[in-house]
Structures are given as C-alpha cells and as structure tokens.
Amino acid sequence: MHTAAAAIREAGGQALPIVGDVRDDEAVAGAIAKAVEVFGGIDLVVNNASAIALQGFGELSVKRYDLMLDINVRGTFSVLTHARPHLLESEDPRVLTLSPPLNPDPAWLAQHAPYTLSKYGMTMLTQGFAEQHREQRIAASCLWPQTLIATAAVQNVVGGDEAMRSARTPEIMADAAAVVLGLPWEEATGRCFVDETVLREAGVTDFSRYLHEGATEEGLEADLFL
C-alpha cells in the first residue's frame, strides 16, 4: 500500500495510505472521514477490495465463506453507506465496482456458488445504488475483465503460472476505468462494462501492449462469468 502511495505521488498525484479492514465498519467510517478531512470531499469511490475462494459445497468452510461475503458484499455496502453523504455533495459523483455483469447461467453456480454469490452481490448493490440515486445523478457502474488479469489472485488461486501466461496486465483495467469514469453520468450509471469492449468502443485496436509476459493473443483465457 505504501509503495503504491509513493508511486502515485511520484506520478504527480496525492495519496493517503490507511491501513484498515473493509470488514470493520468503524475502520471504514474512519478512513472515509480522514479522506474527507485531507482532500476536502469524495468524488469517486472504487470498490476494489475482494476475496476469492473457488471451492463449492463440501470443500469451502463456513469461516472462509463468511470472510468472502464480509469483504466482497458487506465491505461494498459499508463503503457506499459511509461515502454516500459526501458523494451527494459532489458535483460529479462516481462509483466504480470491480464486479461482473449478472449472468444467470447455472454454470457459474455449479462451479463456485459462494464466490458467484459474493461477486454478483457487489454488482447488485452497485446497480441498486445507481437506481436509488438516479435523481441525484450519482453515476454508479461496474467493470469486469474480458480475460484473466495477471494479479496475485490469478497466480495463487486461479491457475498459477499457466494462468498468468493466459492473462493481460492490470493496465487494461486501469485504462478502461478511465474511459468509464469519463463518460457522461447518464451513459455510465447502472451499467456493467467489460474492459475490452469499453476500449474498443473508445477506438483502441492494438491490445498487444496489455499482454502479460509469456502471453499471446491466441492464448488468452476468458475470465469468469462471461
């Protein structure tokens, strides 16, 4: 976290690193209050905190289930709850949640119902937040990758080195997020975007720059839920 803050500052931005736990309601409230104190308000909330466990019934423990739901769903709810008063004061309030479009295909439930529930829960909360605050013009959207992304979760949980060789770099999600956050609010709110589609519609045609080391366009693996 502190190295990320240093990189942000080096790039010319401002950063306030706070050690916390998104499951702890008081910690969330404190972090948001501190951000408002330092920066003068909140214009954008990104719900990025997430836990992943792909085991199903008979394999996933109740403790791991609770952890995943507390981080993914309860954490999203807590952050939006505490950030809401400040978003309502913003001239251009935005919410971006890293969660997938709702896809009722039972394949996702058969493979990993608990994880599916948690990620769809993040999406439903975000879409509900968008609709509840449509008159207040809070643009709340979701963003999900078309392919695997080279993250620690993919390395450690999804498929190790083989999965990393089938992945794109996180930069594609950052670029897609920038496009989504730049859309007029009425074009963004309540929608679930996919990174590749967003960038293609923005005129990007060369995706080779996003390939992780060892990956090829032909060998990319689609992410879950698509």
57-76: string of b/e by CB count within 10 Å (b at 16+)? eeebeeeebeebbbbbbbbb
Q: Provide the H-helix boundaries in the chain.
A: 2-10, 25-39, 62-69, 75-87, 106-132, 152-153, 160-164, 171-181, 185-188, 195-201
Active site residue 115: yes
d(CA 116, CA 23): 19
Cα separation, 184 vs 122, in Å, equals 23
Q: Which amino acid is at 11?
A: A
Number of neighbours of residue 225 by Cβ within 10 angstroms:
21
From 65, 115, 120, 210, the catalytic residue: 115
Show which residues are catalytic.
Answer: 115
